[in-house]
Structure 1
């Protein structure tokens, strides 16, 4: 009689492990998430977790950097567009889609998570996010300045104020998404903001 074979252990999926860990960190903060919590959520032994990420702190840092970089990539794609109207549209629309991704593929917005005020000694999350925000804002401001030089914006447009407006809308959309406002409503808001910005664009004034 043949002996029953044991089921194979679940293959290690690094991206899934980071996603599951991020959910815990975002909800409970770094200090409030124990190694036992992580091993249970990830289906890993403590030794396997340490082998993959070095430590709990290493896993936390990788989770923060992984999802924070997604925001930077939104700005990279947007500022590469050929005209400022499309820059604004891409930034707002892509942000909404990022903020409202299904829970099985995204841990939620880092900006309003518990992880923002509770982090490791080696990674100050608030400072890291501030650096990311500064990079995004500088990239957008540089693109607005270029649009002004190229005649894409109406003469006298305050590019600093325009950049600040777009940044404020993006952050407001993030807050609304975390409050559960549906994607369709957020896209409508983003569309209205884009129309208002159109008043500063050459060729879109009524």
Structure 2
């Protein structure tokens, strides 16, 4: 069998290849995912995989960044809302929708997957996720501080504590999604948390 027949031509579905690779990496980690398993899942020959992504490590890095950066974008879009209560609601509910995307188009939440126990020479996953979460923390903290300055929140509001609480709820929703919780249940939990936060904020501004 020739190389051309064994592997797909260069014009393949890159998004689909990244999705299939992500499913393997999320379940097995980087070290536990062999190049052979990747080529089988992607329908590529080894040479085609290397031509497309440079290496197994290059493919791993692209899959992690592709899906992780979606969370950063959720925060960036949410903090553009005028009302801080809407900001918090969007962060929680939009993230749930991201965690629970249909399996045919999404590999699942990577935050507590096997990826977190593994790394490569090109991407330190722990450092990368620490930076990602730190960035999201700072984006939200800055928006809460602005809400205090604008009078949406009481002057005595502890911005760091509120940020930490929202982020704790976010991580809990992520963990439950990985345990198989249904989207409807997670949305209900996110809305309840949002309602409790808003109730607390209302009592501090009255």
Shift of 1:201: 3.9
Shift of 1:204: 9.9
1:115 & 1:191 partners in 2: Cα distance?
29
2:124 & 2:137 partners in 1: Cα distance?
20
1:146-185 to 2 correspondences below 5 Å: 146-185=146-185
Structure 1 residue matching 2:167: 3-state secondary structure: helix
1:101 & 1:157 partners in 2: Cα distance?
35
Q: TM-score, length-normalised on structure 1?
A: 0.92
1:65-84 to 2 correspondences below 5 Å: 65-84=65-84
The residue that corresponds to 2:197 in the other structure is 197
The residue that corresponds to 1:86 in the other structure is 86
Q: TM-score, length-normalised on structure 2?
A: 0.92
Listed one character per residue, the Cα deviations across residues 108-152 of structure 1 (whole Å, up to 9, x for unaligned) are: 111111111111012110110000000000000000000000001
Shift of 1:175: 0.6
Q: Which runs of no fewer than 5 residues in structure 1 stay unpaired?
A: 1-5
Contact conserved, 1:109 with 1:178, CA < 8 A, in 2? yes
Shift of 1:200: 4.4
Q: Which runs of no fewer than 5 residues in structure 2 stay unpaired?
A: none
Q: Given the alignment of the two structures, is residue 57 of structure 1 paired with residue 18 of structure 2, yes or no?
A: no
2:153 & 2:175 partners in 1: Cα distance?
29
Contact conserved, 2:115 with 2:125, CA < 8 A, in 1? yes
Contact conserved, 2:25 with 2:33, CA < 8 A, in 1? yes
Aligned length: 199
2:92 & 2:111 partners in 1: Cα distance?
16
The residue that corresponds to 2:31 in the other structure is 31
CA-atom RMSD in angstroms:
1.8
Listed one character per residue, the Cα deviations across residues 136-179 of structure 1 (whole Å, up to 9, x for unaligned) are: 00000000000000001123111100000000001000011111
1:192 & 1:114 partners in 2: Cα distance?
30
